[in-house]
């Protein structure tokens, strides 16, 4: 179930290239409902800023646009830390690379979307808005690549219990383990176990593959 969209969406950009940060800052300034509240050049700086803002009681960003290839702590490691320690902050992966394995790693870390750096401004805005409302945006080229590489699991959906089918739908809706736990009134550890069981039964290696399977089988509409 999607959440309501705030009137102003606070955004933070993490990228080791200043020109990329400046470009995104200029873009955010053109949209009244977006507000850039901070920037960082690597994962360590981003995490330090978020922790400082939380300590000072300052508003955290709704969405972090996270480059994956950076010196020091890269974007995947930073995404894992941010989604664990600041669960209300959504991370959208941003990179110039399109390898499927990199997408899997980013989304396994609970990223709320994946953009290539050549994405047009409208797609960036779409990804930010989707993340804030609990959805997930995948670059269309990457989504097609993932679908082509995904093989149909031999056991199929019939191997899942009713609860596991429910978990699969929530995964496809972009819910994190914490979100699933809250919605189903179970512990986060139990939610994590359910997710692992779903992936194991369907012989899938990532949440992304599970989401694509759910869409293909008509359990959820494509975003």
> Strand (E) positions, the chain?
9-14, 34-40, 63-67, 90-95, 113-116, 137-138
Residue predicted with more confidence, 142 or 171: 171
pLDDT tens for residues 171-197?
999 899 999 999 999 988 889 889 988
Query: Order of strands across the sheet with 113-116?
Result: 34-40, 9-14, 63-67, 90-95, 113-116, 137-138
Tell me what pLDDT residue 219 has: 86
For residue 170, the SS3 value is helix
Does residue 152 have a pLDDT over 70? no
Instruction: Please give the domain boundaries of the chain with CATH numbers for all domains.
Output: 9-147 (3.40.50.2300), 150-216 (1.10.10.10)
| Region 157-183 average pLDDT | 90
pLDDT tens for residues 59-115?
999 999 999 889 889 898 999 899 999 999 999 998 876 666 677 778 778 889 888
| Region 155-172 average pLDDT | 86
CA 19 vs. chain centroid, Å, equals 24
Question: Phi/psi class of residue 57: alpha, beta or left (left: φ > 0; alpha: ψ in -120 to 50)?
Answer: left
Tell me what pLDDT residue 155 has: 54
Tell me what pLDDT residue 100 has: 65
Does residue 223 have a pLDDT over 80? no
Tell me what pLDDT residue 139 has: 84
Tell me what pLDDT residue 167 has: 94
pLDDT tens for residues 13-56?
999 999 989 988 888 888 889 999 999 999 999 999 999 999 99
**Does the reported pTM lie above 0.75?**
no
| Region 145-173 average pLDDT | 76
pLDDT tens for residues 119-140?
888 899 999 999 998 888 888 8
């Amino acid at each position: 179930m999607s959440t309501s969209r705030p009137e102003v969406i606070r955004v933070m950009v993490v990228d080791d290239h200043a020109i990329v940060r400046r470009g995104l800052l200029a873009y955010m300034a053109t949209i009244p409902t977006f507000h850039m509240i901070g920037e960082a050049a690597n994962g360590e700086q981003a995490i330090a800023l978020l922790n400082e803002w939380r300590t000072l009681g300052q508003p955290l960003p709704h969405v972090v646009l996270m480059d994956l290839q950076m010196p020091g702590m890269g974007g995947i490691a930073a995404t894992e830390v941010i989604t664990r320690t600041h669960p209300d902050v959504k991370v959208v992966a941003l990179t110039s690379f399109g390898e499927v394995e990199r997408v899997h790693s980013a989304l396994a870390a609970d990223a709320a979307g994946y953009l290539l750096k050549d994405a047009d401004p409208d797609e960036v805005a779409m990804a930010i808005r989707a993340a804030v409302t609990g959805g997930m945006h995948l670059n269309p080229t990457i989504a097609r690549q993932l679908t082509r590489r995904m093989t149909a699991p031999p056991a199929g959906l019939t191997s899942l219990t009713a609860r596991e089918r429910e978990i699969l739908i929530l995964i496809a809706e972009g819910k994190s383990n914490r979100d699933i736990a809250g919605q189903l009134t179970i512990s986060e550890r139990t939610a994590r176990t359910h997710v692992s069981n779903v992936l194991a039964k369907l012989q899938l290696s990532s949440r992304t593959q599970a989401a694509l399977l759910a869409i293909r089988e008509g359990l959820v509409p494509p975003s």
